[in-house]
Structure 1
Amino acid sequence: MVHEVPADQEAFDALARERGWSDGLPLVPPTPERVARYLAEWGTAPDEVIGALPPSLAPVTAEKLAVNAVMAGAPAAALPLLRAAVEAVADPGYELHALNATTGSVTTALIVNGAQRHALGIPFGAGCLGGADGRAASIGRALQLVMRNVAGQRVGVTSQSTFGQPGRVNGIVFGEWEERSPWAPLAERRGVPGDAVTAFGTMGTANICEVVATDADVLLKFVGRALAHPGANGYLVQLSFAEVVIALNPVWAALVGRAYPDVDDVRRILWENASIPLSEFPRQHQRQYEDIGWVDARGRVPLTRRPEDVLVMVAGGLGGLHGAALHSWGTTITQTRPVRP
């Protein structure tokens, strides 16, 4: 369907709010000239279908993606990244229908790897989760507008999210500081070297502060314990699995990398400590965890079922002292896709 839209921003914003296209922030009018320029720079036919996104299952064409990128203020150069992100969340394993419809406050986080971080200005150092310069917010917003305007995510209608979260407006888009990591990049460890994007369904970001530890084992034990809390979606007995992303700042990563050059050892130690004694849960919960075999030999309930479900990466500022955790919502399986021109 083609809509006549005013080129004036205020007039277009009013129309967008009336039609339900708006996220509440000012939108750039997607005039035919702007959209055509984006498609020309991208070199992609407007009717090329990238994927179908639930709950509407409407096809995301290159033109629809360009329209929403224009409205979000995202650069045309970000369209290959956005295409890969759409391909990732369209994977059935990502369970986008459940993510878009749930009562949970979940959004899609995009973790960016490769040289594109520099070309697009994706932050991976200080302020990478919010506040840094760059185009991350507009890129995340473009994907969220696709959820609204193509996938059909409608608050109180198709989406029953009790609270929502800021990431449902601008998304969460950040890079890995590969140059300061003692390990291979996250996407490469997941089988996709070079330019790539990892889509992760998350309840948001949580800060982990530790200002005393000078020993890798002490630090990892502390961080692991900080990951596990009873209210995390990972502890819902209805779920068969959970994942968690932990971003270590470069100072912590250097300390840990010297002690553990194999990142799998880091994941294992974090996983062993990301658990709660069964006795700390109410009796009803205890019975459920026991019935489904979630209690380990130590009498503890781990946040995730396997060490492989702890995704370790390096990001953040050189000031150190803080880590960032992104807990999964549940049922979504993290997806990584290559980003091609």
Structure 2
Amino acid sequence: MQQGWGDGLPLIPPTEGRVRAFLAQSNRYPDEVICKLPPTDADCTVEKIAINAVMAGAPAATLPLIIAALEGLADPNFELFGLNATTAPVVPLTLVNGPIRNQLDIPYQHGCLGGMPSLSIAAGRAIRLLIKNVAGQQVQVTCQTTFGSPGRLPGILFGEWEERSPWAPFAERRGVSGNAVSVYGTMGTQNIIDTTSQTGPEFLEMTGKSLAYPGANGFSPAMPFAEMMVAINPVWAEIIHRDIPHLEDVQELIWQHASIAADHLTTKHREQLEAQHRVINGRVYVAVEPKDVLVICCGGTGGLHATGFHSFGSCLTQTRAILPGPDQS
């Protein structure tokens, strides 16, 4: 904490020996620059990643995953500068696809968003430490967040339950097969409980309507666009797929219901959205188009719940392959 490296939780001292041992298990050169991270735009080298991963307690096997996530965060379309500087409580979410979920024991079933013990969760904390120590996100200095978020401590890192999902893996739908990460700027988690629905359309109606609240960034005139990620448990996913076989139709239904009547908003709010041509037949939608509703499958088999991840708005989801690294033979 005196050095400015800490996040308030105990850290493992990144001694030279520990960092060397971490790096020895990879085929990356320590001075290799992976990316530049705003707002400092400092070089994020493999050695800096190793230092922060050691402090977080992340095993060396998570290095390729962390690198892939950082590459996504550094993409200009992710707009990490805005995420790091904003007054909002936005935090990067890291979704993992592929066999690496099991290799690293990344949770994607019961308790996948918190409470399921897993050493791999330290990888999420490592990413957060890198955003702090390399990118330079400092509250009241480079970051004006009003409240912050609990997710800014360990991050939000989990997998998709591909084996139970009726849809193709999320990363594969975005053109990346196998081991991959997708980074998404979220305001946090929103629980949606539904104890009455029995059919796919009913589940989607309840889910969509639950996502539609006026204070979400997707309804703000300050945001020109927004995505909307929704996690559906495997029990609901099976019923939804039975009744609505095409994912595009699932996205369409959530999008339609995730809207509010424009006259429900305050006058000034409505007028600003009308000036941006965002009022469609008297309604405003949390995402720009149905394709911007990002549907994933994970969570426990107890059913009853979905989770909404409202987006910051200007951060566009990025997907990257998790690669073993260059061949240095």
Normalising by structure 1, report the TM-score. 0.94
Tell me how far apart the structure 2 counterparts of residues 289 and 149 of structure 1 sit (CA, whole Å). Answer: 38
37-46 or 180-189, larger mean C-alpha shift: 37-46
Tell me how far apart the structure 2 counterparts of residues 174 and 323 of structure 1 sit (CA, whole Å). Answer: 15
Q: Which of residues 19, 37, 53 in structure 2 aligns to 1:53?
A: 37
Paired residue type of 1:287: E
Alignment of 1:171-320 (within 5 A): 171-297=155-281, 299-320=282-303
Aligned counterpart, 1:156: 140
Is 1:338 the equivalent of 2:321?
Answer: yes
What residue ranges of structure 2 are gaps of 5+ in the alignment? 325-329
Q: Contact 1:108–1:199 (CA<8 Å) still a contact in 2?
A: yes
The CA deviation string for residues 7-57 of structure 1, in whole angstroms up to 9 with x for no partner, is: xxxxxxxxxx11110000000011111111111111110000000001110
The CA deviation string for residues 304-334 of structure 1, in whole angstroms up to 9 with x for no partner, is: 1101110000000000000011010111111
Tell me how far apart the structure 2 counterparts of residues 174 and 114 of structure 1 sit (CA, whole Å). Answer: 12
Aligned counterpart, 1:147: 131
Q: Contact 2:190–2:308 (CA<8 Å) still a contact in 1?
A: yes
Is 1:327 the equivalent of 2:310?
Answer: yes
Q: Kindly state the Cα deviation for residue 261 of structure 1 after the two structures are TM-superposed.
A: 2.1
Q: Contact 2:106–2:121 (CA<8 Å) still a contact in 1?
A: no
Is 1:101 the equivalent of 2:70?
Answer: no
Aligned counterpart, 1:22: 6
Tell me how far apart the structure 1 counterparts of residues 26 and 289 of structure 2 sit (CA, whole Å). Answer: 40
Q: Contact 2:59–2:120 (CA<8 Å) still a contact in 1?
A: no
Q: Kindly state the Cα deviation for residue 98 of structure 1 after the two structures are TM-superposed.
A: 0.7
Q: Which runs of at least 4 in structure 1 moved beyond 3 Å after TM superposition?
A: none
Tell me how far apart the structure 2 counterparts of residues 226 and 217 of structure 1 sit (CA, whole Å). Answer: 14
Is 1:115 the equivalent of 2:99?
Answer: yes
State the secondary structure of the residue aligned to 2:237: helix
Aligned counterpart, 2:327: none
When the two chains are superposed, the root-mean-square deviation of aligned CA atoms in Å is 0.8
Q: Which of residues 124, 135, 156 in structure 1 aligns to 2:108?
A: 124
Q: Which of residues 57, 69, 83 in structure 2 aligns to 1:73?
A: 57
State the secondary structure of the residue aligned to 1:108: strand
Q: Contact 2:208–2:258 (CA<8 Å) still a contact in 1?
A: yes
176-185 or 133-142, larger mean C-alpha shift: 133-142
Q: Contact 2:131–2:137 (CA<8 Å) still a contact in 1?
A: yes
Tell me how far apart the structure 1 counterparts of residues 52 and 246 of structure 2 sit (CA, whole Å). Answer: 41
Tell me how far apart the structure 1 counterparts of residues 323 and 225 of structure 2 sit (CA, whole Å). Answer: 31
User: Number of residue pairs matched?
Assistant: 324
Higher percent of residues as helix: 1
Is 1:86 the equivalent of 2:104?
Answer: no
Q: Kindly state the Cα deviation for residue 137 of structure 1 after the two structures are TM-superposed.
A: 2.6
State the secondary structure of the residue aligned to 1:179: coil
Q: Kindly state the Cα deviation for residue 135 of structure 1 after the two structures are TM-superposed.
A: 2.6
Q: Kindly state the Cα deviation for residue 198 of structure 1 after the two structures are TM-superposed.
A: 0.4
For CA contacts below 8 A with separation 6 or more, give which structure has more relative contact order.
2
Aligned counterpart, 1:62: 46
Q: Contact 1:111–1:199 (CA<8 Å) still a contact in 2?
A: yes
Q: Contact 1:241–1:331 (CA<8 Å) still a contact in 2?
A: yes
Tell me how far apart the structure 2 counterparts of residues 290 and 44 of structure 1 sit (CA, whole Å). Answer: 52
Tell me how far apart the structure 1 counterparts of residues 149 and 279 of structure 2 sit (CA, whole Å). Answer: 32
Tell me how far apart the structure 1 counterparts of residues 257 and 7 of structure 2 sit (CA, whole Å). Answer: 40
Q: Which of residues 15, 22, 28 in structure 2 aligns to 1:38?
A: 22
The CA deviation string for residues 160-199 of structure 1, in whole angstroms up to 9 with x for no partner, is: 1111111111000010000000010011001111100000
Paired residue type of 2:291: E
Q: Contact 2:62–2:120 (CA<8 Å) still a contact in 1?
A: no
Normalising by structure 2, report the TM-score. 0.97
Q: Kindly state the Cα deviation for residue 287 of structure 1 after the two structures are TM-superposed.
A: 1.2
State the secondary structure of the residue aligned to 1:265: helix
Tell me how far apart the structure 2 counterparts of residues 191 and 339 of structure 1 sit (CA, whole Å). Answer: 13
Q: Contact 1:243–1:328 (CA<8 Å) still a contact in 2?
A: yes
Q: Contact 1:136–1:174 (CA<8 Å) still a contact in 2?
A: no
